[in-house]
Amino acid sequence: MAVDALVVGAGPAGLAVAAALRARGLHAVVLDREPAVGSAWRRHYYRLHLHTPRELSALPGLPIPREMGRWVARDDVVRYLELYAEHHRLDVRLGTGVRRLDRGEAGGWSLTLDDGSVATAPYAVVATGFNHTPREPTLPGRDTFTGRVLHAGEYRSGAAFAGQDVLVVGTGNTGTEIAVDLAEQGARRVRLAVRTAPHVLRRSAGPYAAQYTGIAVRHLPRAVVDRAAHVVGRLTTPDLSAHGLPRPTTGLLTRVQDDNAIPVQDVGIVDAVRHGAVEPVSALTAYDGRAVVLADGTRLEPDAVVLATGYTRGLEPLVGHLGVLDARGHPIASGGRTPPAAPGLWFLGYTNPISGMLREIRLDARRISLAMALAKDDRVRELTGIPL
C-alpha cells in the first residue's frame, strides 16, 4: 500500500492524526520506538486521572467508553488508546525509533530510523509528545546531596515513600497531585516547594466541568479573562495564604499563554494544605550534603526530593536542523499549518491550551488531515495535469 504520511509517535496525537487521515482515504504509518502505544501514559503515576471530562477528551472517530467514568483513570486511558488503534485499524510500527527527519531527495520527507534504515513519504507529522524529556533545574550541590532525588516522571506511587519526609518541587497539576498522593499513602511529612503560586480551580461544579469555561474564554482578551478569573477564584477557592500558599499575582490566562502554566485542578490539594497534610514552603535553591536550602534560608533534611519541574519537547535531535523550532524548542507552526521552511511537515500535540490538550489534539488532527488531503490533490494535479 502506498504511504502518504509518516507519523512519528504512537501516543494520543500520533494515533489521532493517523485516524483522521484514514477517514480521508490517506494511509499513514505510525512509528514509535516503544513496544506499545501510549508509552508516556503507561509511565505516569498510578493515581493520575484525566483533568478533562470524558465527553471532551475523545480522539477523532471513537468516544471514550462510558464505563471508564467521567474522569478517566491512567490505566483506562491506556486501554482506550489500544482500543483506538485497533478500532481504526491503524498501521502502527512499534519498536521503530526515528533518529532524524530530512527533506527527501525527490521531495517529500526522509526519516532515518534507529537501525540506520530510511523511510520516505510525501508528508510527515511529528507527534512525539508535549512531555517528552524530563527537565531538572540546575542547582548548586546536586551531586553532594545524600538523599534521594527523582523526577516526577519516575514517580509511581506514594506507597514507596510511606514513613518518609518528602519535598515535592513544583506546583503544577503534577506536583500538587503527587503531594496529595504522598500524604494519602502515609508519608511522614510532605512539603511542597513553591516558586510561583499557582491558580487553583475546582475541577467541576456539579456536572459543569472547568474545561467548558476554558473553551469559552480562550479567545477572549487576556485582561478580561485575567480579571474574571481573579473574581471567580476568590468566590470559589479558599484563601490559603495563612498556610503558605498565597493567591497568584499574575493573571490566569497570562500564565497560560506566557508560561504554559495550566491552572491546577483541585483533586485534593486545597484540603491537604488547609489540614496540614501538605505544607507549602519556599522554593528550592540548593542542595548541601544531607540538607536542601530554600529561598528564605530554611534548611530541610528530607529523605527524598520529587522534582515536578516539567519537561522539554526534546525535538532538537529530530528536526532542530530544519529551522522549524523557536528559541524555546517549540514548533513555530502547529495545527493545520506547516512551517514556512518545511511545507508538508506538521506538528501535533505541542500546545498546552486552557481548553484541554486532548480536545485540541482532536481538532488539530482533523485540520492536518484536511490540509494534507488538499496538498495531495494539488500535488497530483501538478504532476499529472488532470483536474481533480
pLDDT in tens, 331-386: 999 888 999 999 999 999 998 888 999 999 999 999 999 999 998 877 665 655 65
pLDDT of residue 38: 96
Q: What average pLDDT does range 13-42 have in this prediction?
A: 97
> With contact defined as beta carbons under 8 Å apart, do 191 and 279 qualify?
yes
Residue 325 pLDDT > 60, yes or no?
yes
Taken in order of first residue, the domains within the chain and their CATH numbers are 5-132+313-384 (3.50.50.60), 135-307 (3.50.50.60)
Neighbouring CB atoms inside 10 A of 237's CB total 16
pLDDT computed for residue 2 by the predictor:
81
Residue 329's Cα: distance from chain center in Å? 15
* Residue of 313, 276, 262 lying closest to 191 (CA atoms): 276
Beta strands in 115-226 (DSSP E): 118-121, 123-126, 133-134, 148-151, 165-169, 189-194, 200-202, 204-205, 208-209
- Grid coordinates given for 44: 505516569
Query: Is the pLDDT reported for residue 388 higher than 60?
Result: no
The pLDDT value recorded for residue 386 is 57
Q: What value does the mean pLDDT of the chain take?
A: 93
Share of the chain above pLDDT 90, in %: 84
Q: What is the largest CA-CA distance in the chain?
A: 74
All three cell numbers of 3, joined, read 504511504
- pLDDT tens, 176-230? 999 999 999 999 999 999 999 999 999 888 889 999 999 998 889 999 999 999 9
- SS3 of residue 225 by DSSP: helix
Mind listing the pLDDT tens digit for each residue in 254-286?
Answer: 998 888 888 999 999 999 999 999 999 999 999
State how far the Cα of 197 lies from the Cα of 191, in Å rounded to an integer: 14
Helix (H, G, I), strand (E, B) or coil at 232: helix
Q: What is the pTM of this model?
A: 0.92
pLDDT tens profile 84-114: 999 999 999 999 999 999 998 778 999 999 9
Q: What is the pLDDT of residue 382?
A: 61
pLDDT of residue 251: 94
366 half-sphere exposure, CB direction, 13 A CA radius: 8
Q: Is 349 exposed, middle or buried (0-12, 13-18, 19+ CB in 10 A)?
A: buried
